[in-house]
Amino acid sequence: MSERLINIIIDSFWKILLPGLKMTVPLTVISFAIAMVIAVLCALAQFADIKPLKPVIRFYIWVIRGTPLLVQLYVLFYGLPNIGITLDPFPSAVIVFAINEGAYASETIRAALESVPSGQIEAGYCVGMSYFQIMRRIVLPQAFRTAFPTLGNELISMVKDTSLAANITVMEMFMATQRIVARTYEPLALYIEVGVIYLIFSTVLTRLQRYGEKRLAFYGRR
């Protein structure tokens, strides 16, 4: 490894990491938070078997899970201007990531809700609890513990998926790396470097996920 390459790697580290902290992290957090709202609402509507909404939700999940995330980004950012709707890159990425993740997470949460034994729901009615009390005190806490590991994996996956936002000109880590590569002509080292940074982010989230699982298991035994 030449001295020039070492200097490029050292110099580029913060130039890649800062867009990650300023753009990749906020993009992930905002998108995932909105996705969780979408997912919970869709899962609850399906669990409650609300007739008018259930077919619409199933269609939404079918379309989103059956089409590539990159295509969805292109349709929103490059396609909608043809019908007079223009959005900035960052809001476009947030909308697409939230809608995409909401479809996947809704199925995770729905499955977790359905894993709660029906006898517990019947027992709640027997002691005079309302439907909303049963959901809040019995069903949702158990479902959340069941869904937490999978949702944690989906959050880690979203961190890596944010690299696709470079295709709609969002200045996140991968796009910052591409610009450095264009100046230095050192793609191998720089793409490995950004991969390592993504790995660091994912490792931190993995540790937080394991800590959360332990805490949930502790409260579940109480």
pLDDT tens profile 40-54: 999 999 998 888 899
Q: Report the pLDDT value the prediction gives residue 219, as an integer from 0 to 100.
A: 62
Backbone φ/ψ region at 88: left (φ over 0), alpha (ψ -120 to 50), beta: beta
Residue type, 75: V
pTM (two decimals): 0.91
CB neighbours of 173 closer than 8 A, spacing ≥ 6?
16, 17, 19, 20, 23, 24, 162, 163, 194, 197, 198
Q: Report the pLDDT value the prediction gives residue 221, as an integer from 0 to 100.
A: 58
Q: Report the pLDDT value the prediction gives residue 48, as an integer from 0 to 100.
A: 87
Residue 221's φ and ψ, nearest 5 degrees, are: -85, -15
Report how far apart the first and last C-alpha atoms of the chain are (Å, whole number). Answer: 56
CATH architecture of the region 3-221: Orthogonal Bundle (1.10)
Residue type, 2: S
Q: How many CB atoms lie under 10 A from the CB of residue 86?
A: 10
Show the 3-state SS of the chain. Answer: CCHHHHHHHHHHHHHHHHHHHHHHHHHHHHHHHHHHHHHHHHHHHHHCCCCCCHHHHHHHHHHHHHCCHHHHHHHHHHHHHHHCCCCCHHHHHHHHHHHHHHHHHHHHHHHHHHCCCHHHHHHHHHCCCCHHHHHHHHHHHHHHHHHHHHHHHHHHHHHHHHHHHHHHCCCCHHHHHHHHHHHHCCHHHHHHHHHHHHHHHHHHHHHHHHHHHHHHHHHHHC
Residues of the chain with pLDDT under 50: none
Domain boundaries, the chain: 3-221
Q: How many CB atoms lie under 10 A from the CB of residue 190?
A: 21
